[in-house]
Amino acid sequence: MKYLNEYRDPAVARGLVRQILDTATRRWVLMEVCGGQTHTIVKQGLDEILAPAVEMIHGPGCPVCVTSLEQIDKALNLAARPEVLFTSFGDMLRVPGSECDLQQVRARGGDVRVVYSPLDALELAIRHPERQVVFFAVGFETTAPANAMAVWRARELGVPNFSVLVSHVTVPPAMIAILDAPDNRVQGFLAAGHVCSVMGWTEYEPIAARYKVPIVVTGFEPVDILEGIALAVRQLEEGRHEVENQYVRAVRRAGTPPAKDLVFQVFELADRKWRGVGTIPRSGLVLRPEFADFDAELRFGLGSMEVEEPAECHAGEVLRGTLKPLECPAFGTICTPERPLGAPMVSSEGACAAYYNYGRHRAATAAES
């Protein structure tokens, strides 16, 4: 497909690999923020081929992984109610809650349906006025415009049986939390391209300046990621720390203003708990008071829930980048895609899933024996 296949060109990729290896005079530590980028990096072995020049640390950019256990348990509670038709992106179905996951609720008779777009969930509500249709509105800034539009349209079209369980997070506060951590090793970032397609990159300029880290807005194909790394390494070698845009075909400095505008008409910033990481100030989006009628937590009187993470799950350290999946004692033993302890093992953007699915586990075992 156009604007996709050419960014998988092996000849261009080889040229960039050579350039990165030639430029680096030492080994730099970079973090790719987005889990989609993690999967490309691990699948293509980019971290291994670039190992002499950069260490890639995998970031927290997996919305499925960072959705708090409490929100997952609320979803499970709602999905089990007979009057509820619960809708979600497919990624959320296998995320472990305290006792089970959405797929198991469905197996026990809960009406849980996967939708491609939040507008499909709204359409279900219009078609089933006798049911309470709840949509699990998770995601980063990339997904926020779609979820905001579903709520906006529900009000505009007057759909009283539609509501959303919101668990939205935003990227810049998480980057600041990583940089503020006393054990931080990250020297530069690849920022998430599609988050910036919506939001632009002005929010990153003060972060780059204050923490003296290069931040390169980067796409998702192998050539994109290699070019992003090449730009970050060049900045580090030259002692620069700027925001640079690799993903020029899809990102403008101001982002996509109409999308940003609607997001902040429907949502407002609030503190948000990240699974395994803890509460990050002003890192979440919640419905504005004028859209409270569409808040599933209020509609169904959910309140707060007591939850406890399994002690043997190290997902939080993996999400903060302080532990690689292979360093987790549970990885591949008591935590597998079939029986996950934490969300990073089952999400299509989870770092543990990337390592497991692309055979890093088998490679490590073979090397030991």
Partner 1 sequence: MCLGIPGRIVDIRGDRGLPMGTVDFGGVRRDVCLAYVADEVSVGDYVVVHVGFAISRVDEEEANRTYEMLREMSLLEGELGAAP
How many residues interact with partner 1 (rule CB under 8 A)? 61
Instruction: Enumerate long-range contacts of 139-142, CB under 8 Å, 24 or more apart.
Output: 139/63, 139/89, 139/168, 139/169, 140/61, 140/63, 140/168, 140/169, 140/170, 140/171, 140/192, 140/195, 141/170, 141/171, 141/195, 141/198, 141/199, 141/263, 142/192, 142/194, 142/195, 142/197, 142/198
**Of 55 and 123, CB closest to partner 1:** 123
Residue 71 CB, nearest distance to partner 1 (Å)? 15
**Of 18 and 185, CB closest to partner 1:** 18
Distance of CA 105 to the CA centre of its chain: 24
According to the binding rule CB under 8 A, does residue 194 interact with partner 1? Answer: yes
**Of 168 and 324, CB closest to partner 1:** 168
Site string for partner 1, 202-221 (x = CB under 8 A): ------------------x-
| Given 21, 250, 305, 326, the residue binding partner 1 (CB under 8 A) | 250
Site string for partner 1, 22-51 (x = CB under 8 A): ------------xxx---------------
Site string for partner 1, 62-101 (x = CB under 8 A): xxx------------------------x-x----------
| Given 153, 155, 234, 288, the residue binding partner 1 (CB under 8 A) | 153
DSSP 8-class letter at 325: G
Per CB under 8 A, contacts with partner 1 among 251-270 are 251-252, 255-256, 258-259, 262
**Of 29 and 250, CB closest to partner 1:** 250
Binding span for partner 1 by CB under 8 A among 143-151, 272-280, 282-290, 321-329: 143-151
The C-alpha atoms of residue 212 and residue 218 are separated, in whole angstroms, by 19
Q: Are the C-beta atoms of residues 277 and 316 closer than 8 Å to each other?
A: yes
Coil vs helix vs strand at 34 = strand
Per CB under 8 A, contacts with partner 1 among 276-305 are none
**Of 49 and 262, CB closest to partner 1:** 262
Q: Are the C-beta atoms of residues 224 and 275 closer than 8 Å to each other?
A: no
Secondary structure element (H or E) that encloses residue 304, with its range = none
Exposure on the CB side of residue 223, measured as CA atoms within 13 A: 13
Residue 117 CB, nearest distance to partner 1 (Å)? 3
According to the binding rule CB under 8 A, does residue 311 interact with partner 1? Answer: no
Q: How many CB atoms lie within 10 A of CB 210?
A: 11
Residue 37 CB, nearest distance to partner 1 (Å)? 9
The C-alpha atoms of residue 128 and residue 86 are separated, in whole angstroms, by 12
Binding site for partner 1 (CB under 8 A): 1-4, 6-7, 9, 11-12, 14-16, 18-19, 34-36, 61-64, 89, 91, 116-120, 138-140, 142-143, 145-146, 149, 153, 156-157, 192-195, 197-198, 220, 223, 227, 248-252, 255-256, 258-259, 262, 347-349
